[in-house]
């Protein structure tokens, strides 16, 4: 029997800018050729000047005045998600954007509560913690790494916690946020930030696949 199983793996691409949420409606995106429209696949939660939120087949779109989030929990649709946002900004090429995020959220079942504890212990200096308490429980771990490239910055933020919602008691939750922004604060051409996403895409995808194995299997994986 495997020692762990991926229960949910979500992927989102986020853009920060000034948006008009009412523009982003499924029927209008269909007219642009960005969605293959089928009413049975559509669920509109809200369309309002302050927020638009709808689900279409594998895709969930949330747009506020300051943020656009395109997300999916269908692993087979991760590249479709990327292609969708690229197509979206080929039409909205006048929206000023110079910051984006490539994000992953994962709930993984370890089948054993003690294995959850051991996994967290392997990630920290447990010998130090054991001096403070006999049975320490680690509720959250956060790491970040900053990269300085020629034209943009990249901060990778990783959060590891017990899975309290999808796999309570025997699961862990891993969040990976890749925050990308242009060095030139006056450059708001969305094509530039899309180029950055393209340049980091493969590395971010590999990290989302390899990191859970590194975390869970530890020395076994090495």
pLDDT at residue number 134: 67
Query: Cβ contacts of residue 194 below 8 Å, gap of 6+?
Result: 85, 86, 89
Structure confidence by residue, pLDDT tens digits, 11-58: 999 999 999 999 999 888 988 889 886 666 789 999 999 999 999 999
- Is residue 106 in a domain? yes
pLDDT at residue number 221: 35
- Is residue 158 in a domain? yes
- Is residue 150 in a domain? yes
pTM tops 0.95, yes or no = no
pLDDT at residue number 96: 94
- Is residue 118 in a domain? yes
What does the DSSP 8-state code read for residue 50? Answer: S
pLDDT at residue number 123: 84
Q: What percent of the chain has pLDDT over 90?
A: 69
- Is residue 44 in a domain? no
- Is residue 83 in a domain? no
Query: What does pLDDT average to over the chain?
Result: 90
Burial class (CB in 10 A: 0-12, 13-18, 19+), 212: buried
Number of domains observed in the structure of the chain = 1
Range of the domain at 202: 102-220
Closest to 101 (Cα-Cα) out of 32, 207, 220, 201: 201
Interatomic CA distance for residues 182 and 154, integer angstroms: 9
15 close to 97: Cβ distance less than 8 angstroms: yes
pLDDT in tens, the chain (222 residues): 567 899 999 999 999 999 999 999 988 898 888 988 666 678 999 999 999 999 999 999 999 999 999 999 999 999 999 999 999 999 999 999 999 999 999 999 999 988 888 888 888 866 666 677 766 677 889 999 999 999 999 999 999 999 988 888 899 999 999 999 999 999 999 999 999 999 999 999 999 999 998 888 864 433
- Is residue 2 in a domain? no
- Is residue 187 in a domain? yes
């Amino acid at each position: 029997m495997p020692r762990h199983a991926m229960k949910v793996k979500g992927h989102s691409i986020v853009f920060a800018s000034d948006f008009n949420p009412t523009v982003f409606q499924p029927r209008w995106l269909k007219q642009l050729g960005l969605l293959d429209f089928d009413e049975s696949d559509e669920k509109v939660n809200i369309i309002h000047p302050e927020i638009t939120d709808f689900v279409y087949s594998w895709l969930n779109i949330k747009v506020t005045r300051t943020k656009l989030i395109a997300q999916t929990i269908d692993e087979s649709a991760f590249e479709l998600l990327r292609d969708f946002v690229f197509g979206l900004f080929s039409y909205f090429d006048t929206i000023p954007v110079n910051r984006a995020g490539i994000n992953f959220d994962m709930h993984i079942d370890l089948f054993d509560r003690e294995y959850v504890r051991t996994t967290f212990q392997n990630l920290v200096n447990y010998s130090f913690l054991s001096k403070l308490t006999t049975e320490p429980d680690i509720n959250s771990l956060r790491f970040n790494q900053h990269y300085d490239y020629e034209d943009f910055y990249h901060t990778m933020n990783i959060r590891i916690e017990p899975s309290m919602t999808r796999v309570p008691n025997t699961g862990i939750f891993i969040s990976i946020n890749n925050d990308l922004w242009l060095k030139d604060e006056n450059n708001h051409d969305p094509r530039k930030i899309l180029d950055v996403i393209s340049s980091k895409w493969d590395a971010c995808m590999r990290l989302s696949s390899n990191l859970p194995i590194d975390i869970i299997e530890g020395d076994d994986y090495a």
